[in-house]
């Protein structure tokens, strides 16, 4: 663990047992950056909210390796897990078991989603008291919905918010696309009020940093770049094909459903032997009728993504529903793939990847661009050549490490 006098306390209201999701990957990137900047990392969990509707929780080993201290009031540790001793959490769990039984009987049920849902004043105060037990140069709320805890802090500390998504914008985009959602719907005014005590912001999306919160000094805001993993040797050749990579996330599911419905038929009409490979759990969640789409292979989880990379593989991001940043674009580039994307998939990068990705703004233009790349080996190699190294340089987080140290040096 880090031997340092500088401490970051991170306030968390969710479970941290998964790392394959976008917010899990970004949290790991943030923690690595904080450690590289020389900070000791302390995590304070919400005593009730972070459990959701089950009474046990664990922290992913990769995240655990980056955390120096965990404070989770109202729990006991056993079997590598944290167990709640709160009756209310066990009551929630009982309701969940009933819902699961109903679901297995074919009844339609909906579990309560705690994502982005504000906590009670009692829980905010309890988290603040836990954070105040040890002094920290920086105290950071993960997600704006944890921001009210900052209001209750009494120890001198610089207060920040780590913004994975601007939550009011997330709900707005779901509504615009006519998609159902089960997370808490907030307004811009409410979300701005949550973060009114913040001294600085760390954003996961460059474009959202431009407007949230409105009027905030840009000198005290920074963009945390997505850092995709380093991959091994990539295939040097192969038959040109199209690749979609993604987990089971509403934005990914919508993008793949849209591609299979509105773009893939246009491609097959002009190139009947074109092939599509879908990697990741997203393939399990698409519309059942689309799972038998022609020339499509559902690969499921792929242990070595290098096996589907290289210049012959065209990574696609037909994203219509997004907040934050589209990590898959960076992953495609690190895999040496030429990439075709809708403009929305590029928003979160704030123009940093301009010229490295082919952007198309309609289904017809998207199909045309994919067809051009399928037929043009030289163009695919041009886009692929050096893409991993350029991406690595553009997405360096040294600026963020310097920013955290600068904020810690300021008086609370």
Helix (H) or strand (E) holding 201: strand 200-203
The structure tokens listed for 53 are: 């509707």
Place of tokens 């922290």: 59
Query: Domain 7-224+397-409 class?
Result: alpha beta
Is the model's pLDDT at 110 over the cut of 70?
Answer: no
2-46 per-position pLDDT tens digit: 446 799 999 999 999 987 677 888 899 999 999 999 999 999 999
Higher pLDDT, 163 or 99: 163
Is the model's pLDDT at 111 over the cut of 70?
Answer: no
282-316 per-position pLDDT tens digit: 988 889 999 999 999 999 988 888 999 999 999 99
List the domain boundaries for the chain.
7-224+397-409, 241-394
pLDDT at position 324 is 62
Higher pLDDT, 114 or 205: 205
pLDDT at position 180 is 66
Please say whether the beta carbons of 410 and 157 come within 8 A.
Answer: no
The structure tokens listed for 352 are: 């940093």
Half-sphere exposure of 60 (CA within 13 A, CB side): 16
Which strands, in side-by-side order, build the sheet including 276-279?
296-300, 276-279, 241-245, 313-317, 339-341, 358-359
pLDDT band at 182 (very low <50, low <70, confident <90, very high): low
The model's pTM = 0.82
78-101 per-position pLDDT tens digit: 999 999 999 999 998 888 888 788
Please say whether the beta carbons of 312 and 279 come within 8 A.
Answer: no
Is the model's pLDDT at 1 over the cut of 60?
Answer: no
To the nearest 10°, report the CA torsion of 214, 186, 12, 82: -170
Phi, psi dihedrals of residue 292, rounded to the nearest 5° = -105, 25
CATH code assigned to 241-394: 3.40.50.2000
């Amino acid at each position: 663990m880090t031997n340092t006098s500088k401490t970051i306390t991170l306030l968390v209201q969710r479970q941290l047992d998964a790392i394959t999701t976008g917010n899990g990957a970004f949290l790991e990137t943030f923690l690595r950056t904080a450690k590289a900047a020389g900070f000791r990392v302390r995590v304070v969990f919400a005593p009730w909210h972070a459990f959701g509707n089950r009474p046990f929780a664990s922290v992913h080993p990769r995240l655990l390796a980056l955390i120096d201290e965990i404070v989770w009031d109202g729990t006991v540790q056993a079997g590598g897990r944290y167990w709640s001793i709160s009756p209310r959490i066990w009551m929630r769990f009982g309701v969940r078991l009933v819902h699961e039984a109903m679901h297995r009987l074919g009844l339609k049920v909906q579990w309560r989603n705690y994502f982005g849902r504000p906590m009670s004043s009692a829980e905010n105060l309890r988290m603040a008291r836990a954070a105040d037990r040890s002094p920290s140069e920086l105290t950071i709320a993960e997600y704006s919905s944890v921001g009210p805890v900052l209001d209750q802090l009494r120890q001198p500390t610089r207060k920040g918010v780590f913004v994975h998504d601007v939550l009011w914008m997330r709900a707005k985009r779901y509504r615009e696309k006519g998609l159902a959602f089960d997370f808490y719907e907030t307004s811009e005014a409410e979300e701005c009020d949550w973060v009114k005590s913040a001294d600085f912001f760390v954003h996961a999306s460059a474009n959202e940093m431009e407007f949230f919160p409105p009027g905030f000094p840009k000198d005290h805001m920074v963009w945390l770049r997505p850092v995709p993993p380093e991959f091994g040797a990539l295939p040097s050749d192969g038959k040109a094909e199209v690749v979609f990579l993604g987990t089971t996330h509403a934005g990914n599911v919508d993008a793949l459903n849209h591609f299979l419905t509105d773009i893939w038929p246009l491609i097959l009409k002009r190139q009947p032997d074109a092939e599509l490979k879908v990697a990741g759990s997203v393939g399990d969640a698409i519309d059942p009728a689309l799972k038998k789409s022609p020339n499509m292979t559902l690969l499921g989880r792929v242990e070595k993504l290098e096996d589907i990379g290289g210049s012959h593989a065209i990574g696609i991001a037909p994203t219509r529903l997004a907040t934050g940043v589209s990590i898959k674009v960076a992953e495609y580039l690190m895999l040496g793939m030429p990439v075709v994307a809708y403009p929305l998939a590029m928003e979160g990068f704030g123009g940093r990847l301009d010229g490295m990705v082919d952007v198309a703004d309609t289904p017809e233009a998207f199909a045309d661009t994919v067809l051009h790349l399928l037929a043009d080996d030289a163009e695919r190699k041009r886009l692929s050549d050096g893409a991993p190294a350029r991406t690595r340089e553009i997405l360096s987080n040294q600026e963020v490490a310097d920013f955290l140290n600068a904020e810690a040096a300021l008086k609370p």
